[in-house]
Chains A and B, each alone.
Chain A
């Protein structure tokens, strides 16, 4: 007696073939219908242009989806996921042929009959085993170890652990049923002395075969057919269950990664296909209702696997602000499922703020990009936050603390409301112009390079020192440079990221004109926010460099030489500013400059480079009064202390403000200091006298 093929067997009174055919049709119809309902909101969404550069997109699919590139950033969970993912890819073919034999007993995958087929069988036996083990390990993690990042705060509803366990169990059942079917078939063949199919040693099917070896033939037959039935049932249940939760990423992740944003630093336009000049004519801008999101952003909501890595890295979440990127997504997904149900009418849209999001939540983001850097599925957060802010701005819901600086930016071109003519006053403070005269590029004088100073360095008493240091360095390395002075306005970097697009456009138009009129060939800035704005938000202006890049270049070219570090008891650590590091991948230049100071001791913080931890945010974020348990800067200063450093080197004026404040708040003035890269270089620079002789350093420390 041979084990019956499921198609030829009869289940109670129906033939297997009919039963499984009905199951296929029913399962696939259900799935198709659910998918159709899931696509409905995407069809009502805003446009999003993601159809260019197919080859680059496919390469990214190969790297981030197929290659699981970002998963190893979390070693345990990442490895587990990679194994499960590979298992699923391997088992896709197996699942297909297994389902097919229910309808047609002789089915064999084309091309898989010979050696290749045998090889595949062995691989997929192990794949099923690995996936099965992974399910157990994952369940143990969830039940016993409970990683903190999976926890759901009470205000956001129930824990999702049970959902995860249920999903793991379903997959485990699928693997087990497949293996039981295989194992019982092999056991029958062995008992009958036939050449049994070779089962990979120590694989799950092999273990099943060993365990079932002594079972009677009729029992084995029943067991095999039962396992097959359960396999198919579980398969279709899973298929139709996936679009109801985090498991949906199995279907959607491929598309999310393919359509992911290519230029991450460039903010999404207010609306695709609408020019800046036409924005005034739109009835509403920004995201106010769910349908104001783009279809890709909705797809992101579907794709989120709720792995919690974004929030684990998010500084706002760490500081106890009411923002957690993970829940930004899952709340939107829940909203979508609720308002676009599988059965029943789609509800029309209501405002999201007040329903699922709070205003504080949306203003809490520093746009540092830590979440986007981490997400294995390349889900975008900054564009969504900015779009939500655009909506808040458009409906006038702006915290009072931000209204004054925004109004001042409109009337004075800086958030402090200071006079335009005072913008270059920093160049004359304490007789600075005598030791280091700075050209004002007002049409009468010209220069090769423009030092774009931006508002904080122009007006903030403490930060003006960064301007002084930068100017001295530029002079030392022989740069022909000047500033725009009163003709410069705020770069508008945060104006745009706080959602005031129209004001940003006005600031940009003014600056572009002033920069062009200055006739410079290059731009340099000591402010990563200005750097990011000029580099990515502005168009048709000369190339821009951050001072750290210029310094690294000057070191290589030999125009910059640095003296030995003054004291040996200082241990430095470099804090990557978000808009220099993560957003522009300038990680090495500042470190190279630091390491070029002989005798300087430098340590790395655990969170550095693309995992750098935001200091608290720049630009308008300095004016915002967040609801938080502690300052991000305090957390950051503690990280530096933990790394054994006593001096934090930054390369951003806002980092300087936040970190210096944090040192005071944390009461760590005695054991921690902060210094800007330019200030440190300025202290150590070997100045060339006009004749080429090494001149005595005479400048005071800043």
Chain B
């Protein structure tokens, strides 16, 4: 099976102290460390597991610049067959729809049966997967947390729905799925693996190569603009529970139950 996984490089939330810049319209990016978006990492792992069961190839693709090559190599070290960078100065500043349009152009040049994205990016808006499917006129399922290949044409998938329940679906190929974390346990990528793919050439495609109309990408085409970044105002404080440990435990259980956390 030919699988394409759309990935993205994001500031690593576990290894950064995210601060707003002085203008207040972005985060301070000087000393950030980046890594692959966590959801995308699960998607790549899932693609690799599917390929190890039924055969095929996994391609990882990202829209970005030279610095984003880093995550493509990391995913290739993980086992992806190819990494592709979609890079053009025209692409910078695209909104989700613009990104989806670029990806669509790339996908139509290939022969991918299954396209995976993460449910969302850590700094994103969870919109590219759905829009990409619509542009391709492919079926789409979001929040997927298991995939079973039934035959060459159909997948059986489960989706996570509110309250921790699961829903079982069948979906026709080709399709786009957005992958939820927890679908698998992504493998570790060691430094050795990354070094081993350090000199593998990564093909780069720009707008002309893809046939992307410059008018539908970039900041001018973006219909969503970020206006502000802010920290939510602090709430009125926490509710303190007092009493013996057992009493506190009982109160906690009761609170969680009334809020619907326990059934």
Contact = CB atoms under 8 A, between A and B. Distances in A.
B74 to A, nearest CB: 10
A502 B14 contact: no
Contacts of B15: 407-408, 411-412, 417-418
A403 B192 contact: no
B192 A506 contact: no
B31 A419 contact: yes
A637 interface: no
B235 interface: no
A418 B33 CA distance: 10
A475 B17 CA distance: 33
A394 B190 contact: yes
A421 interface: yes
A280 B196 contact: yes
Instruction: Tell me if B's interface is mostly helix, strand, loop or mixed.
Output: loop
B14 A400 contact: no
Interface string A404-421: 101110111000011111
Contacts of B17: 419
Interface string B8-52: 000010111100000000000001010100000000000000000
Nearest to A412: B15
A408 B17 CA distance: 13
Interface string A471-515: 000000000000000000000000000001111001000000000
B31 A502 contact: no
A410 B191 contact: yes
Contact of B190 (A404, A411, A421, A503): A503
B189 interface: yes
A398 B16 CA distance: 23
B156 interface: no
Nearest to B195: A280
A280 B31 contact: no
Contacts of A421: 31
B246 interface: no
B111 to A, nearest CB: 28
| Residue of A396, A400, A421 most packed against chain B (CB within 10 A) | A396
Nearest to A270: B192
B191 A411 contact: no
Contacts of A395: 187
B230 interface: no
B188 interface: yes
B35 A280 contact: no
Interface in B126-178: none
B188 A502 contact: no
A421 B192 CA distance: 27
A26 interface: no
B188 A417 contact: no
B191 A398 contact: no
B45 to A, nearest CB: 9
Interface in A505-554: 506
B185 interface: yes
Contacts of A400: 185-186
B192 A406 contact: no
A287 to B, nearest CB: 15
A254 interface: no
A402 B14 CA distance: 13
Given A411-B15, A417-B12, A419-B17, A396 B188 contact: yes
Report which residue of A394, A411, A418 has the largest number of chain B beta carbons within 10 angstroms of its beta carbon: A411
B39 to A, nearest CB: 15
Contact of A407 (B31, B35, B196): B35
Contacts of B189: 396
Contact of B191 (A396, A418, A419, A506): A506
A398 B45 CA distance: 14
Contacts of B33: 411-412
Contacts of A418: 15
B35 A417 contact: no
Nearest to A392: B188
A500 B191 contact: yes
A395 B192 CA distance: 11
B188 A280 contact: no
B14 A403 contact: no
Interface in B96-137: none
Contacts of B14: 404, 408, 417
Nearest to A400: B185
A240 interface: no
A406 B16 CA distance: 15
A403 B35 CA distance: 13
Given A394-B193, A397-B187, 13 more contacts: A393-B188, A397-B188, A398-B188, A402-B188, A411-B12, A417-B12, A418-B15, A500-B191, A502-B190, A502-B191, A502-B195, A503-B190, A503-B191
28 contacts: A393-B190, A394-B190, A394-B192, A394-B193, A395-B187, A396-B188, A396-B193, A397-B187, A397-B188, A398-B187, A398-B188, A407-B12, A407-B15, A408-B15, A410-B191, A411-B12, A411-B33, A411-B35, A412-B15, A417-B12, A418-B15, A419-B31, A500-B190, A502-B190, A502-B191, A503-B190, A503-B191, A506-B191
